Structure 1
Amino acid sequence: MSDGGGAQESDAVGLLRALIREACVNDGRPDSGQEIRSVRVLQRFLAPAVAAGRIETQVLESAPGRASLIARVRGTDPSAPSLGLLGHLDVVPVDPEGWTRNPFGGDLIDGEIWGRGAVDMLYLTAAFAAVLRETALAPERPRGDLVLLAVADEEAGGEYGIHWLVREHPDAMRVSEALSESGGMRMGAHVAIEVAEKGSAGRRLVIRGKPGHASIPYGAASAAYRVGEVLQRLGEVAPAAQPSELWDAFVAARIGDPALAERLRDPVSIDAALPHLGGIAGYAHAVSRITLSPTVLRAGMTHNVIPAVGTIDLDIRTLPGTSDADVDQLLAAVLGPLIDEVEIQHLRGWAATASSAREPLFAAIERAVGAVAGAPVVPIMAAGGSDARVLRELGIPAYGFGLLGPDWTYERYREGVHGNDERIDVESVELSLAALRLIVAERVGGLVVE
């Protein structure tokens, strides 16, 4: 099939379009997602290699329809690396009115594949499956295992996906290193490869007042007013920047103005320099510090009762090495004199994770990106989260991979993720495929890449 220009689409592009059309939308409800549909697409794609006895597959359902596919090509050497290719099958909801085209059409127009999940992260899941099949059907078996981990529920936290899999089926998930999402965007002349993710340390602030009838407010103390006082304090006092080795690498790769780079390396002047960064300022702010974001406010049950209790839910994103105690101490410092009036409750969270950029897999990524794109790589931290952190928590080195085209700045990448008119160009799919083949050939063998 073609986009009207006569170009023949690759197996990976065809698979990407098919995955988009399955519309495995995950809105957080247990019965959403229904990733079994995309699992069936992958099973059909891998069927020739499965029939030839070259791939072992398992379909694992955590709940009806919440399916993940594990596909393994066995290597000949048990001591060789076992490389995992971790991709998710679910996508976030869409507002169809914000789209120029059908968000689940998988249209190929002027060299771009349109659809929800094209960037996040079905293009990589399709590339992973394509290279797995190529490796399985190659004349020589690989030295080490190559494993496709196509999982459910990443967009809602992974309870029906990777968390359930590592808990209930640890042998199926067995790999020694892994590639996943959140890499490949251009940082100046460099290609960004994610080596770390911020953690999450959600908190609920409980603020108490004195209730009363709303028609006679004198003598009452509305918790809603106190919620406002706490919000004002949160808006006025912010955590300080904490530059790190990854921050220095980001500044060196992305900031061409030496004077601005110097200001960004100084914790005292970072905040004043951020407005000069344009579209990447939000990312720079996020990865240079712990962030506190009030997200859900509650106070009162009915219009004629002055509320006795108000709550503020905080989305708190932490840096590597930050403990729960550190977060509580930071909150106490931010709230200052209001801390005695606030009860801090812990919500669900996880620690920040990082993989060393000195691991052999990262070196293989560097060589592959250099060979395909002629560009150096820069290790970066992701402000958000992905399933890769679960592997890192198990001690498995995991990196956010990809090789997007030269015009794919970080800003363009972020606009595509969860945005309207999400799409990815064929060039980026093919660049990622080319680099992935080199990485697989180096780490586990089997493929012959010219």
Structure 2
Amino acid sequence: MTERALTAETVELLQTMIQNACVNDGTRESGEETRNADTLQHFMEGAGLDVQRFEAVEGRASIVARIEGSDPDAPSLCLMGHTDVVPVSPDGWSRDPFGGELVRNDDGVEEVWGRGAIDMLNLTSSMAVAFRDLARSGFRPKGDLIYFGVADEEAGGTWGAEWMFEHHPEAIDADYCLTELGGWSTVDDHGHRHVTVNVGEKGLAWRRLRVSGTPGHGSMPFGADNALVKAAEVVRRLSEYRPNPRLGPTWTGFVDSLSIPAELKSAMLDPERVYDAISTLPVPQARMCHALTHTTISPNVAEGGQKTNVIPDTVDIEVDIRTVPGTSYDDVKAMLDDALGDLAPHVDVTDLQVGVATESPTDNDLWDTISKRTQIVYPDATLVPGLVVGGTDARFYRQRGRVAYGAGLFSPSMDFATFGNRFHGHDERIDVESLALATEFWIGISKDLVG
């Protein structure tokens, strides 16, 4: 098909997937990804592809399609896109968040609007269109090419990628995997373009901290052993604690791509000065830079107390801890003990969710292929290895020794600030040019890597 026709297919498929409103609020019953699974299955079967369907929980379906390779020893590639989206606050939107409208903005740029347009239905749909086009064209690769439309990414993959690897690994395992979070670009002061490909992501070390006290009557608080008062101090200490930075090659590449003064760059590469240097940046940029260089500790939920006139004896605090690569379980324990100080004996710590940070190397054929296909659109562009500060399903591949990247290819208008503002934000949308670039990107990579 022509590039224009493929782009039209991607736009239409993206619109439908947005309209299916597969909203994952973290509960077992949410998501209803079966709607997007139905859409993708119908789309793939229209090209004569056999589609496998897997349903960990009723309504939480994932689909897998495969173009089998001729050489069992050749490398295989999985194009993985999740089908669920996060909830919305409709009052903050200028348009229906599930309308999937195609809108021409004031600058004449066509954009598809809706929840998931950035995260990550744009890639899920463009991957599907690329995969189907290859199948229709009679593409017969040496290595297997797999399409994986997966449920439940937005809540950690329990009913999606994690479940699939536990129950049906043969359906989705591949030497290489491409999925979300990458592809935006920046141009430095010398006019050189840097395109981010995320090669790793931080680990999860979520903890529940139970703070204990002694119950009593609220009318006599003097000298009371109030668990809530102690919990407030625990929260304060956690929020002010500064773990040591970790400045590796990924951070160095990121700093080199920034258009900032040389002295600031020097400070951001110095472990003794990086925290203060980051503090001088605009808040949105500072948040990202801090998360890229530090294990972060964020107390986000507190529950306790029974009644207004009863001094509480127990308060639970749930803490979101994200670890930089190289941080062990014992390291997290040591950080918490250090942060809590003399309060540590009064706090019982239990695990909520634990997963090590993961990284893939860049000295391989997939990295070289991404670089080649990126430079077709952006000649002489440099790939910058990045780190995802949240979580993606790529980690399930990396944990098995596979190479997995968060990649993509966007139009020049999609820089990091634009991407970040729309990700999980109000008025989420993607320009049609980016959809066109991504579709051709997946086709080219597939042909080069497994063809």
| TM class, shorter-length | over 0.9
Give the deviation of 1:404 after TM superposition: 1.3
- The normalised TM-score by structure 2 is 0.93
Which residue of the partner structure matches residue 37 of structure 1?
35
Asked if structure 1 preserves the Cα contact closer than 8 Å seen for 2:208 and 2:349, the reply is: yes
8 A Cα contact 2:6 2:436, kept in partner: no
- Counterparts of 1:324-403 in structure 2, within 5 Å, are 324-374=329-379, 375-403=381-409
Corresponding residue for residue 289 of structure 1: 294
Q: Which residue of 2 aligns with 1:21?
A: 19
Q: Which residue of 1 aligns with 2:322?
A: 317
Aligned pairs for 1:51-66 (under 5 A) are 55-66=49-60
Q: Distance in 1 between matches of 2:27 and 2:234?
A: 32
* Deviations 1:94-114, CA, capped at 9 Å, x for gaps: 111111111111111111000
Tell me, in whole angstroms, the C-alpha distance in 2 between the residues paired with 1:237 and 1:161. 35
**Superposition CA RMSD, Å:** 1.6
In the alignment of these two chains, the number of paired residues is 436
1:112-151, CA deviations, whole angstroms, 9 ceiling, x for partnerless residues?
0001101000010011111111111224412211110101
- Are 1:83 and 1:177, in contact at CA under 8 Å, matched by a contact in 2? yes
User: 1:435 maps to what in 2?
Assistant: 441
**1:281 & 1:195 partners in 2: Cα distance?**
21
Note if contact 1:255-1:261 (Cα within 8 Å) is conserved in structure 2: no
- Are the counterparts in 2 of residues 280 and 410 from structure 1 also a CA contact under 8 Å? no
SS of structure 1 residue aligned to 2:281: helix
Alignment deviations for residues 271-316 of structure 1 (CA, whole Å, 9 cap, x no partner): 1111333232111000101000001112311111101122221100
1:46 aligns to what? 44
Cα shift at 1:7: 10
Contact 2:207–2:349 at 8 Å: present in 1 too? yes
Aligned to 2:98: 104
Give the one of 195, 216, 221 matched to 1:217: 221
- Measure, in 2, the Cα distance between the counterparts of 1:88 and 1:418: 14
Residue in structure 2 matched with residue 413 of structure 1 by the alignment: 419
Structure 2 match to 1:193: 197
Name the CA shift for 1:9/1:365 in 2 (closer, same or farther; >3 Å): closer
Pick the aligned partner of 1:90 from 80, 84, 88: 84
Taking the aligned partners of 2:138 and 2:159, their CA distance within structure 1 comes to 37
CA distance, structure 1, for counterparts of residue 27 and residue 207 of structure 2: 22
Q: Taking structure 1 as reference, are residues 338 and 219 closer, same or farther at Cα in structure 2, changes over 3 Å only?
A: closer
Is 1:184–2:183 an aligned residue pair? yes
Distance 1:59 1:136 in 2: 19
Residues 167 and 248 of structure 1, relative CA distance in 2, 3 Å threshold = same
- Report if aligned partners of 1:56, 1:73 keep a CA contact under 8 Å in 2: no
Greater Cα shift, 104-113 or 202-211:
202-211
CA distance in 2, matches of 1:345, 1:319: 20
- Aligned to 1:172, what secondary structure does the other structure show? helix
- Structure 2 partner of 1:448: none
Change (3 A) 1:137 1:211: same
Q: How far apart are residue 348 of structure 1 and its match? A: 1.3
SS of alignment partner, residue 397 of structure 2: helix
User: Which runs of no fewer than 5 residues in structure 1 stay unpaired?
Assistant: 1-5, 446-450
Does the CA contact (< 8 Å) of 2:130 and 2:440 recur in 1?
no
Distance 2:289 2:112 in 1: 29
Contact 1:206-1:312 at 8 Å conserved across structures: yes
Deviation of the 1:8 alpha carbon: 9.6
Cα gap change, 1:275/1:406 in structure 2, threshold over 3 Å: closer, same or farther? farther
Q: Distance in 2 between matches of 1:45 and 1:255?
A: 43
Does the 8 A contact of 1:182 with 1:401 survive in 2?
yes
Q: Is the 8 A contact 2:254 2:384 kept in 1?
A: yes
2:9 matched to which residue of 1?
11
Q: Is the 8 A contact 1:372 1:434 kept in 2?
A: no
Amino acid at match of 1:354: E
Contact 2:112–2:430 at 8 Å: present in 1 too?
Answer: yes
Q: Structure 2: how far apart are the matches of 1:236 and 1:76?
A: 57
Identify the range of structure 1 (135-144 vs 108-117) with the bigger mean alpha-carbon deviation. Answer: 135-144
Matches of 1:209 and 1:187, distance apart in 2: 52
- For 2:275, give the aligned amino acid: D
Mapped contact 2:131–2:443 kept (Cα < 8 A): no
User: Does residue 1:67 correspond to 2:71, yes or no?
Assistant: no
> For residue 265 of structure 2, what is the aligned residue in structure 1?
261
User: Greater CA deviation, 370-379 or 174-183?
Assistant: 370-379
State the distance in 2 between where 1:171 and 1:443 align. Answer: 20
User: What percent of counterpart residues are identical?
Assistant: 42
TM-score by length of 1: 0.94
Q: Shift of residue 47 of structure 1? A: 2.3
| Counterpart contact for 1:195–1:355, Cα < 8 Å | yes
In 1, the alpha carbon distance for the partners of 2:342 and 2:186 equals: 42
